Structure 1
């Protein structure tokens, strides 16, 4: 479009030049004719014609030519004004065309940017979807692992309960409501108000320690660890085996708290004295898993309103606290560590 305007302007300029040239030629020719006529008139005037009349006629023709010349100059002046306006219009048009080209370039760049932005957004959506899928997979692995650990703990506690019940049914061992602890309820280990184990109770605690020793090796690390997938398919790792002392509500809170702690400590002492190697069972942080806690009357399993219910609250709990990893990488680390204690099992 800009090219057409440019050629049109050139045609107008050519027409203007031709018009000026023709006008100048016409005026020049008229003056030449006028001079020739005067010359011939002076040489060939017929008799009877007065020179004054000839001169007047020539002057009249000269006036006519001068008028025509004036009109032509006026017309040429008007044409100059039009041409000047056309030149300004042409310059404006050229500037507008340059601006249009700039705008088209900017628009093209913006279209490129929009295309790149759309591509980036599509890529971001894809990455977000992949991240969500990756996160879901990681969460699934954590959930699957933790679920397997819960099932493993329940299986372990059921096995221990079965073994203890087989030898000491009078201890009335039961699984806690949360399935994370073995509870020895009633007067099985301690007499009412007593902080010390009787001789018979001490023998029972020592035997329980032996049963624990045979089972802990598959769920701990350290010098006494002996991991095997046959006994720990879920790769569960014990973080703490807490010996807890609990009482009923008879007496003051401070008295019962001390009483519960003393009973837990007496149980722990009897076990470790009989099998010192129990303290060699370690958790993921290389700390002994065996520990002691006294709760007194703070965590009853039944209301303290009857003698039977109070006997349920006077108890020793063996609570198995399992390690719960916070990431998939930690799961892999746990498995790797356990495999190092498995004879003949090569860590992949």
Structure 2
């Protein structure tokens, strides 16, 4: 009986031990299963993050390539701008040389004039061409001085003129072309705009007529558009030279050179528009790579 009790007790303990082992095994299996699930989730998350990292890296690589292309275009644009500015400077220097040559020749002929290299103006002031108040007539002295100017222009301008009516168009010997020479009439402030606008224009027209009457070949000088180089304009009292009335009743000659500026500026404008589009594309791409502040980030990351 006692033995029987002992066997029963041993069996009971064995069963309890077995049940405990089974419980521990089940728990371990469960924990292992949980670890497997956690590992799978981690692997999936890692894969997702890796994919996102690769995507961002690809976007960054594309942005870098676009930025490099944009930098290259900026360099090309800078070269073109520098070339255009250099050409404009060379043209301005050629115009200054033209002004100085005309001034020297007129002074050699006994006529003193002033030049403004910044604006390309040769001024026939009161010592050269003097108008009476409210008059557009050239007196004898003014007419003689205009004759000197017209002869000097005829001697000098062909080297800066693209075309001659009877010879066609060629590159001028100076290498630079005149667009136009404005004969500009001016008035003092007396009389008001109703009088001064037509008066200033009449002064310019009378000066032009005297020039071409004395040196008719001036009308054969043309720009590259096959238009006569000489032209007239009136400014009334809107561009005074000084505060003295006599200084403003005058004639200016304004020299304008051809420099292909419109074409060059159009090229620059087109390049700038292209780069503007690329900059906007880079900005859009950068914004697309940023996290959306309205969406929660993974794992509660900030």
TM-score normalised per structure 2:
0.70
> Against the structure 1 CA distance between its residues 288 and 67, is the aligned structure 2 distance closer, same or farther, given a 3 Å change threshold?
farther
* Equivalence for 1:166: 108
- 1:42-86 CA-to-partner distances (Å, cap 9, x unmatched) read xxxxxxxxxxxxxxx5xx644543443333333322322222222
Is 1:311 equivalent to 2:246 in the alignment?
Answer: yes
- 1:87-140 CA-to-partner distances (Å, cap 9, x unmatched) read 211211111222222233334444544554564565455445444433332232
> Against the structure 1 CA distance between its residues 72 and 89, is the aligned structure 2 distance closer, same or farther, given a 3 Å change threshold?
same
* Equivalence for 1:145: 87
C-alpha contact (below 8 Å) 2:122/2:253 kept by paired residues: yes
Once residues 240 and 298 of structure 1 are traced to their aligned partners in structure 2, the CA distance between those partners, rounded to angstroms, is: 21
Q: 1:82 aligns with which of 24, 39, 45?
A: 24
* Equivalence for 2:184: 244
* Equivalence for 1:54: none
Q: 1:103 aligns with which of 45, 49, 53?
A: 45
Q: Flag the structure with larger Rg.
A: 1
Once residues 176 and 116 of structure 1 are traced to their aligned partners in structure 2, the CA distance between those partners, rounded to angstroms, is: 59
Alignment of 1:1-348 (within 5 A): 61-113=3-55, 115-116=57-58, 119-120=61-62, 122-123=64-65, 126-167=68-109, 169=110, 171-176=111-116, 178=118, 180-186=120-126, 188-189=128-129, 191-193=131-133, 194-198=135-139, 201-202=142-143, 205=146, 208-224=149-165, 225-228=169-172, 230-232=173-175, 235=176, 237-272=177-212, 275=216, 278=219, 281-283=222-224, 287-304=227-244, 310-323=245-258, 325-326=261-262, 328=264
> Against the structure 1 CA distance between its residues 190 and 252, is the aligned structure 2 distance closer, same or farther, given a 3 Å change threshold?
same
Deviation for aligned residue 1:318: 0.7
* Equivalence for 1:10: none
Q: Secondary structure at the match of 2:211?
A: helix
Once residues 4 and 161 of structure 2 are traced to their aligned partners in structure 1, the CA distance between those partners, rounded to angstroms, is: 134
C-alpha contact (below 8 Å) 2:164/2:220 kept by paired residues: no
Range with bigger deviation, 192-201 or 77-86: 192-201
C-alpha contact (below 8 Å) 1:195/1:266 kept by paired residues: yes
The answer for unaligned runs of 5 or more in structure 2 is 268-302
Q: Secondary structure at the match of 1:296?
A: coil
Deviation for aligned residue 1:206: 5.2
Deviation for aligned residue 1:320: 0.8
Count of residue pairs brought into register by the alignment: 261
- 1:285-344 CA-to-partner distances (Å, cap 9, x unmatched) read 65544322112332222222xxxxx3332211110123451564879xxxxxxxxxxxxx
> Against the structure 1 CA distance between its residues 179 and 63, is the aligned structure 2 distance closer, same or farther, given a 3 Å change threshold?
closer
Q: Please, what is the CA RMSD of the aligned residues?
A: 3.4
Larger relative contact order (C-alpha < 8 A, sep ≥ 6)?
A: 2
C-alpha contact (below 8 Å) 1:218/1:226 kept by paired residues: no
The answer for unaligned runs of 5 or more in structure 1 is 1-56, 305-309, 332-348
Once residues 207 and 236 of structure 2 are traced to their aligned partners in structure 1, the CA distance between those partners, rounded to angstroms, is: 15
Deviation for aligned residue 1:173: 2.1
TM-score normalised per structure 1:
0.62
Deviation for aligned residue 1:249: 3.5
C-alpha contact (below 8 Å) 1:217/1:281 kept by paired residues: no
> Against the structure 1 CA distance between its residues 277 and 158, is the aligned structure 2 distance closer, same or farther, given a 3 Å change threshold?
closer
Once residues 213 and 165 of structure 1 are traced to their aligned partners in structure 2, the CA distance between those partners, rounded to angstroms, is: 16
